[in-house]
Amino acid sequence: MGTAPASKDVAILEIANLSLSFGGVQALMDISLEVKQGEVLAIIGPNGAGKTSLLNCMNGFYRAQQGDISFQGKGISKMPSHKIAELGIARTFQQIELYTHLSAQDNLMAGRHIHFKSGMLDGALYFGKAHREEIEHRKAVENIIDLFDMEAIRKKVVGFLPYGQRKLVELGRAVVMEPKLLLLDEPMAGMNVEEKEDMARFILDIWELKGTTIVLIEHDMGVVMDIADRIVVLDFGRKIAEGTPQEIQTNPAVISAYLGQE
């Protein structure tokens, strides 16, 4: 692991007393945590612990009944998802959610959406502003294609790509948005060891080159212990532990959540 770029002890995202329930099911209970600028924070926990629900609250996909979320000091718990994206939070999904009929390159171009300035009339006439903008953003897209070794699949329609490559396109689409905070929901699920190593390398590349703060959910403990600066453990909607990988490995509450008690 490298040294954290621009690692300050400043919180980029603060969650305070967050509670979320679906009818009678309490998905999240009184969760408070901070994501620090420039860190890689892993959220782990057994199945159904509320990890994805927590991520969904962070980007406005779920509305928590109680509690507050603030991003760089700005309250975002009432904001619609697309506004949160404009503030600089991007994410990937556990089940891949791509624009199936577009090529990999166009998926990434669509990921640049928030950086486009031209209006409908510019687009309709095309000459001038819209054309310049297409080229300018195409360059940003090509940088990511280069970084993730996607040259060969650039023009392929993503619906027909194999699983691992679709996962990569989705990561690319989130990164090309140039977010300040990147939320990754099980980026390595269903991958073999080699693909996981590639993915871990790409995630660390983003973190190192772009200084993006990363929150990731992952089940592979080897990966989590290797790349995370800090770990938050959830169990049945509660936060049961928080700390460095070393602290988490020896935490009795975590061990009992994963392995049961004697």
Partner 1 sequence: MHNPCGVFNETYEQDLAIFRTKTQWGLLIGAIIIAFTFPLFLNSYILGVLIQIFATIIILHGLNILTGYCGQISLAQAAFAAVGGYTSALLSEWALGAALPEWFPGIFNFWITVPIAGLTAGAIGVLFGIPALRLRGFYLVMATLAAHFIIIYIIVHTIGTQAQTLPAPHLFGLLLNNSQSYYYVVLVALIALSYVAKNLVRTRFGRAWIAIRDNDLAAEVMGISLFRYKLSAFFIGCLFAGLGGALWAHYTRSITPEYYHLTYGLWYLGYIIVGGMGSALGPFFGASFLIILTQGLAEVISALSGTFYGIESYLSAAREVLFGLVVVLFMILEPRGIAHRWNLFKAYYRLFPYAH
Nearest to 171 by CA among 202, 129, 210: 202
What x-and-dash track marks residues 140-169 binding partner 1 by CB under 8 A? ---------------x--------------
CB-nearer residue toward partner 1: 25 or 124: 124
Which of 37, 52, 53, 59 contacts partner 1 by CB under 8 A? 59
For residue 93, the minimal CB distance to partner 1 (Å) is 7
CB-based contacts of 240: which residues, under 8 Å, 6+ apart?
233, 234, 253, 254, 257
Q: Are 216 and 43 in contact (CB under 8 A)?
A: yes
Calculate the CA dihedral of residues 218, 224, 229, 235 and round it to 10 degrees: 50
178 binds partner 1 (CB under 8 A): no
Confirm or reject binding of residue 258 to partner 1 (CB under 8 A): no
* Assigned token pair, 92: 């990937």
Candidate list 30, 68, 133, 195; residue touching partner 1; CB under 8 A: 133
According to the binding rule CB under 8 A, does residue 98 interact with partner 1? yes
Residue 5 neighbours by CB under 8 Å, 6+ apart: 38, 207, 208, 211
Distance of CA 65 to the CA centre of its chain: 23
The interface region with partner 1, picked from 90-98, 217-225, 229-237, 245-253 by CB under 8 A, is: 90-98
DSSP H or E segment with residue 16: strand 11-22
Helices 129-147 and 163-175, axial angle in degrees (round to 10): 130
Instruction: Work out how close the CB of 71 gets to partner 1 at its nearest, in angstroms, rounded to a whole number.
Output: 14
Pick the stretch among 127-135, 145-153, 199-207, 224-232 that binds partner 1 (CB under 8 A): 127-135
Q: Does 13 bind partner 1 (CB under 8 A)?
A: no
Residue 62 binding partner 1, by CB under 8 A: no
Q: How far apart are the first and last CA of the chain?
A: 35
Q: Which of 32, 100, 249, 256 binds partner 1 (CB under 8 A)?
A: 100
Q: Which of 36, 51, 173, 239 binds partner 1 (CB under 8 A)?
A: 173
Under the criterion CB under 8 A, does residue 125 sit at the interface with partner 1?
yes
Beta-bridge partner residues of 233 = 44, 241
- Give the Cα separation of 181 and 60 in Å (integer): 14
Which residues bind to partner 1, rule: CB under 8 A?
Answer: 59, 61, 80-82, 85-86, 90-91, 93, 97-102, 106, 109-111, 113-114, 116, 118, 120, 122-126, 130-131, 133-135, 138-139, 155, 173-174, 177
